[in-house]
Amino acid sequence: MVTLAARPQALDIDLDRAALVVVDMQNAFASKGGMLDLAGFDISGAAHVIEVNRRLIQAARKARLKVVYLQMSFKSDLSDAGGPASPNYHKELALRTMRDRPELAGRLLIDGTWDWQIVDALMPEPGDHVVRKTRYSGFCRTDLEGHLLASNIRYLLFTGIATNVCVESTARDAFFSEFWPILVEDAMSHAGPDFNRAATLWNFEHVFGWVTSADHILTALPRDTAPAVPA
């Protein structure tokens, strides 16, 4: 067990039963010309988040922490996206944007496209587990829960994009499934106004889990696995 500095209080975690969950660090959400950028969202903070994630992932692998990637994705025929009777059809940004801008049809979060790909700096490596998902939560219609249980994982360190959408959705479901959700606040980026980020962090500090920083995680890992996080 190690003690991880966090809010609202420090948390004792078993690193052998912990996983780093990297949520949707894809070109769609983090790169110029990706879906969020095309939709007019501010992605200026993504470069810093990518670098923080790169260092965390590198340290996690060296410490033999399980690294799990979530990847939002739809089939080219959209057969797994939900039709007009599904709320996902009406609310999911890629689906809405492709309908509103026909020139983008088949380009946003579609299997095999550039938009769908995890950013080059954070590509999964052998031994990492990649979970394809078609809804905001990584627990919805996926093998995530079964994989974590089979790996005897209980503590989940969340990073990624967007803090207030896919990260929050997945971390809430983690809480309901008896995992311990811990948000790494400086390894995430939000969509929309800053109060979205603040609300998510408040929810997890006071209701659903814990909030920590990349520095705190690196401090808790074995000393030779902890590269410095950029300012």
Per-residue pLDDT of the chain (231 residues; tens, 9 = 90+): 999 999 999 999 999 999 999 999 999 999 999 999 999 999 999 999 999 999 999 999 999 999 999 999 999 999 999 999 999 999 999 999 999 999 999 999 999 999 999 999 999 999 999 999 999 999 999 999 999 999 999 999 999 999 999 999 999 999 999 999 999 999 999 999 999 999 999 999 999 999 999 999 999 998 665 455 555
Domain presence at residue 25: yes
With beta carbons less than 8 A apart as the criterion, state whether 2 and 91 touch. Answer: no
Q: How high is the pLDDT of residue 223?
A: 67
What is the model's pLDDT at position 230?
A: 55
Cβ atoms 225, 219 nearer than 8 A:
no
Report the C-alpha gap between 178 and 53 in whole angstroms. 25
180-189: strand order across its sheet: 129-133, 66-72, 18-23, 155-161, 180-189, 210-212
Residue 113 included in any domain: no
Q: What is the tally of structural domains in the chain?
A: 1
Contact, 95 vs 88, CB < 8 A? Answer: yes
24, 115, 173, 186: which one is catalytic? 24
32 annotated active-site? no
With respect to residue 214, please indicate whether it lies within any of the assigned structural domains: yes
Catalytic residue among 37, 66, 115, 166: 166
Domain at 44, CATH number: 3.40.50.850
- Confidence at residue 222, expressed as pLDDT on a 0 to 100 scale: 85
Structure tokens at 28: 């769609």
> For residues 185 and 154, what is the distance between their CA atoms, to the nearest angstrom?
20
Is 51 part of any domain? yes
- Parent domain of 45: 2-75+118-225
Instruction: Please check whether residue 106 lies inside any domain of the structure.
Output: no
143 catalytic? Reply is no
The single residue of 66, 133, 173, 186 carrying the catalytic annotation is: 133
Question: Is the pTM for the entire model greater than 0.85?
Answer: yes
Q: What pLDDT does residue 229 have?
A: 57
Pairwise CA distance, residues 25 & 128, whole Å: 14
Residue 98 domain-assigned?
A: no
Q: Does 110 map to a domain?
A: no
3-state secondary structure of 117: coil
61 domain residue, yes or no = yes
Decide if 75 is catalytic: no
